[in-house]
Amino acid sequence: MGSRICRVQIFTAPLPISPDSSDRAGWIRFAKRIVHPFIDNRATIHFTEYSALLRLRPTMKSFENKTVLITGGNSGIGKATVLAFAKEGANVVISGRRVAEGEKLAKEITSGGGSALFVRTDVAREDDIVALVEKTVGTFGALHIAFNNAGTEGQFGLLTTEQTVEHYHQVCDINIRGVLLSMKHEIPAMLRSGGGAIVNNSSVGGHIGFPGSSVYVASKFAVIGLTKTAALEFARQGIRVNSVSPGPVQTEMLDRGLR
Ligand SMILES: NC(=O)c1ccc[n+]([C@@H]2O[C@H](COP(=O)([O-])OP(=O)(O)OC[C@H]3O[C@@H](n4cnc5c(N)ncnc54)[C@H](OP(=O)(O)O)[C@@H]3O)[C@@H](O)[C@H]2O)c1
């Protein structure tokens, strides 16, 4: 069956609302649609009540022995992601430009028994990204997961007719070029690590327009384009590339935007 997925685990609700496990073809279609298109039609399906999963949780750390790199990990959504992965046992690599915030967060994790490293990185600079990936692999031996989250809003409130080339570069050099260069150097490291998963942070602004933020919105549409293309290019080599599109989240960025 080559690299196709041959085993599907479905966690079900307890009886009496448990789904009809005899509808095999229906479950394969469901799993292909919401889990992974490469699930083989002959895959075996295993049903387990999710209460069994809950019983396992206290002893199970989902990301033990996995190395996760998070750009823009020193604040906001990135910081929350760093803490969530650290709690699940991952080696977390935090990157960003502000050193004090990044080092404080890494120390908070290591002094609590976790595994973390801060690497100062400006994602607009390719040599910084090369060094970040090298330091990650040099320290933890592999790279399995990356959350390319670093981003900037630039300046909200500028009409399209008021945009400048400088503002375009300020936003796009981080939001587009940063994601492109991050994937460019993360993917070879993941291939050497036996495969991996990348999540790029787009935005609801990557799907619809917002007056006063044409450059930011364009950059977030671009993140989705980069994601879809890289996903198709590397799926067969075991790298999954996806994006997320958050709505408003209370962070430093949103606070600046609301001022
Ligand atoms: N908050 C929202 O409502 C919302 C909604 C949708 C999507 N998003 C996206 O979520 C991501 C995180 O934003 P946030 O809301 O969590 O705001 P945030 O707290 O301001 O986080 C932005 C992060 O990006 C880092 N960063 C910015 N420029 C960088 C650069 N050149 N190189 C490396 N790191 C850089 C910042 O660290 P340094 O300044 O230290 O470099 C910071 O850690 C962004 O991509 C944003 O577009 C946010």
Distance 76 CA to ligand 1 centre (A): 7
Ligand 1: residue of 75, 103, 201 to mutate (most ligand atoms within 8 A of CB) is: 75
Above 50 in pLDDT, residue 159? yes
Global pTM value: 0.82
Provide the pLDDT confidence category of residue 19 given band limits of 50, 70 and 90: low
CATH number listed for the domain at residues 61-258: 3.40.50.720
Token digits of residue 130:
């090369």
pLDDT at 18: 54
What is the three-class DSSP state of 64?
coil
Token digits of residue 26:
């229906």
Distance 74 CA to ligand 1 centre (A): 9
Q: 210-245: per-residue pLDDT in tens?
A: 999 999 999 999 999 999 999 999 999 999 999 999
Calculate what percentage of the chain has a pLDDT beyond 90.
74
pLDDT at 56: 53
Q: What are the residue ranges spanned by the domains of the chain?
A: 5-57, 61-258
The residues near 111 (Cβ < 8 Å, ≥ 6 apart) are none
Distance 113 CA to ligand 1 centre (A): 27
The residues near 26 (Cβ < 8 Å, ≥ 6 apart) are 20
Q: 43-98: per-residue pLDDT in tens?
A: 887 777 666 655 555 556 789 999 999 999 999 999 999 999 999 999 999 999 99
**Which residues are marked as active site?**
216
CA 60, 36, 137, 2 torsion: positive or negative? positive
Neighbours of 100 (CB within 10 A): 9
Separation between Cα atoms, residue 123 and residue 92, nearest integer Å: 17
* Segment 184-188 long-range contacts (CB within 8 Å, at least 24 positions apart): 184/129, 185/126, 185/129, 185/130, 185/132, 185/133, 186/69, 186/133, 186/143, 186/146, 186/148, 187/230, 187/234, 187/239
Q: 175-199: per-residue pLDDT in tens?
A: 999 999 999 999 999 999 999 999 9
Separation between Cα atoms, residue 105 and residue 111, nearest integer Å: 10
